[in-house]
Chain A
């Protein structure tokens, strides 16, 4: 259906290590969005990808959209303690302006 699967559910890394979360769909996506939610906070929009094979960077964050537009990834280089939180991907539903969110990946960083 329209669900998006995120893996892993949880990751605990040492500060300075890299981190990647993946978002997969069984159907082609028109676009994919990524959000970050800090502990105790609300989700914050990070980026939207719309083109096949698209790669966008925000400082240490690299976002990719697969060639088949069925998967996406978020990679963080050299994690910092400020990166802790839950990262959600979201796809737009086929009709209307609603999003379907993945279950999220919880990132913890050990300093």
Chain B
């Protein structure tokens, strides 16, 4: 069966510090991968989307970037965090049937 992992689960970072969140998927190959941000417990905003290694589509201009160095690894990064980057970051994967399966998420607080 497929599983998706995200770490860390929670993170508190000062403004201006870098960020690296990692997501890995097991039990499937060549998945579509997604990064979402959820603010205030409502609404899922798609940040990045990837159909394969090195292929990243950015949905909104922002302070974040994403990379996919391996088939089942998706990384969300920032060089300098802003207060507005606080939120719940969710990684998800999908295959051809389009339903998405989410990881447990990372709660980021920028102070």
Q: Are A92 and B42 in contact (CB under 8 A)?
A: no
A36 to chain B, nearest CB (A): 11
State A101–B101 Cα separation when bound (angstroms): 14
State A110–B83 Cα separation when bound (angstroms): 35
State A31–B96 Cα separation when bound (angstroms): 13
Q: Within residues 35 to 91 of chain B, which ones have a CB less than 8 A from any CB in chain A? A: 41-44, 46, 49, 51, 90
Given A101-B44, A104-B42: A48 in contact with B103 (beta carbons within 8 A)? no
Q: Are A97 and B51 in contact (CB under 8 A)?
A: yes
Q: Are B44 and A33 in contact (CB under 8 A)?
A: no
Q: Are B98 and A88 in contact (CB under 8 A)?
A: no
A103 to chain B, nearest CB (A): 5
Q: Which residues of B contact A (CB under 8 A)?
A: 32, 34, 41-44, 46, 49, 51, 90, 94, 97-105
Q: Which residues of A contact B (CB under 8 A)?
A: 31, 33, 39, 41-45, 48, 86, 88, 90, 92, 96-99, 101, 103-104, 106
